């Protein structure tokens, strides 16, 4: 958490003075794109270590967006086992945060990839019940998943849309665009930002954390704390935050 403190001095008639700290201008930092080493095969850091790294770097919370993609799961897994495995990184990180710092927020998100494409979609607001009930989310194409998400109040952002091999999604089927990605070249992030401005879409930023070298590269700075997915969705819809960029 970033805190801007105003100092006020209050003195009594007897000459005793007290320093009053105005804590109304708190700012909060959140990571919106993070992969755990126990779920995302490209991840290299375990959930417990990720929590420590982000607390040390002054963040107030993380949205866990492990890959939900054909590369994540072993073929022929039962649906229940597939979801249990997918949620394991989030659950471990949440338990670790509760032990290290109960004020540190850990929320469930998702980076979804359908069969037959290299496109990735960040889904915010998603919950465990939805994932268990939805079936295999890699099968439906963009429109169907978008409709499912909107029915449940979630938001869908296209992640790093100008990376090689990725095509820009039909704008009708996304709410927003990841305009800063900590693992993406500056020129490509700038293209994403320009696209968002042209289209009027919501924007977000994330480190795309996979290794320790990716720590605290992106995210958002907010004026209000985010303690739930409802809080997160409200902040993203309001766009009342600063984008973290580290070039």
Judge whether 10 lies within some domain. Answer: no
Judge whether 16 lies within some domain. Answer: no
Judge whether 146 lies within some domain. Answer: yes
- Percent helix, strand, coil in the chain, to 5, is 30, 30, 40
C-alpha torsion 148→131→133→143, nearest 10: 20
pLDDT of the residue at 25: 83
The pLDDT confidence band at residue 18, using thresholds 50, 70 and 90, is very low
The mean per-residue pLDDT over the stretch 149-170 comes to 98
Check which CATH number belongs to the domain holding 232 and give it: 3.20.20.140
**Given a cut of 70, is residue 21 above it in pLDDT?**
no
The pLDDT confidence band at residue 24, using thresholds 50, 70 and 90, is low
Count of domains forming the chain: 1
- pLDDT tens, position by position, 48-93: 999 999 999 999 999 999 999 999 999 889 999 999 999 999 999 9
- Cα 152 → chain centroid: 18
The pLDDT confidence band at residue 17, using thresholds 50, 70 and 90, is very low
The pLDDT confidence band at residue 103, using thresholds 50, 70 and 90, is very high
The mean of the pLDDT values for the chain is: 93
Q: How far is CA 149 from CA 75, 126, 182, 200, 247, in A?
A: 25, 8, 26, 20, 33
Judge whether 12 lies within some domain. Answer: no
**Given a cut of 80, is residue 114 above it in pLDDT?**
yes
Judge whether 107 lies within some domain. Answer: yes
Judge whether 8 lies within some domain. Answer: no
Judge whether 117 lies within some domain. Answer: yes
Beta carbons of 196 and 179 less than 8 angstroms apart: yes
Judge whether 31 lies within some domain. Answer: yes
pTM, 2 dp: 0.90
**What single string gives the DSSP state of each residue in 211-228?**
SGGGTTSSEEEESS---S
Q: Which domain does 108 fall in, by range?
A: 25-244
């Amino acid at each position: 958490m970033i805190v801007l403190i105003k100092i006020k001095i209050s003195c009594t008639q007897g000459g005793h003075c007290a320093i009053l700290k105005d804590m109304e201008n708190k700012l909060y930092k959140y990571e919106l794109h993070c992969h755990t080493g126990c779920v995302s095969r490209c991840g290299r850091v375990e959930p417990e270590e990720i929590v420590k790294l982000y607390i040390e770097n002054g963040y107030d919370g993380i949205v866990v967006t492990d890959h939900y993609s054909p590369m994540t799961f072993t073929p022929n897994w039962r649906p229940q086992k597939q979801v249990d495995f997918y949620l394991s990184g989030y659950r471990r990180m949440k338990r670790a945060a509760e032990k290290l710092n109960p004020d540190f927020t850990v929320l469930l998100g998702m980076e979804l990839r359908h069969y037959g494409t290299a496109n990735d979609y960040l889904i915010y607001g998603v919950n465990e019940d939805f994932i268990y009930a939805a079936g295999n989310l890699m099968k439906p194409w963009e429109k169907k998943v978008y409709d499912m998400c909107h029915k449940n109040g979630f938001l869908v952002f296209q992640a790093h849309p100008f990376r090689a091999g990725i095509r820009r999604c039909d704008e009708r089927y996304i709410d927003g665009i990841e305009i800063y990605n900590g693992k993406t070249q500056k020129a490509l992030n700038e293209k994403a930002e320009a696209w968002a401005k042209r289209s009027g879409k919501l924007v977000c930023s994330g480190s795309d954390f996979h290794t320790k070298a990716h720590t605290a590269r992106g995210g958002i700075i907010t004026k209000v704390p985010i303690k739930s997915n409802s809080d997160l969705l409200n902040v993203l819809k309001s766009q009342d935050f600063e984008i973290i960029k580290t070039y």
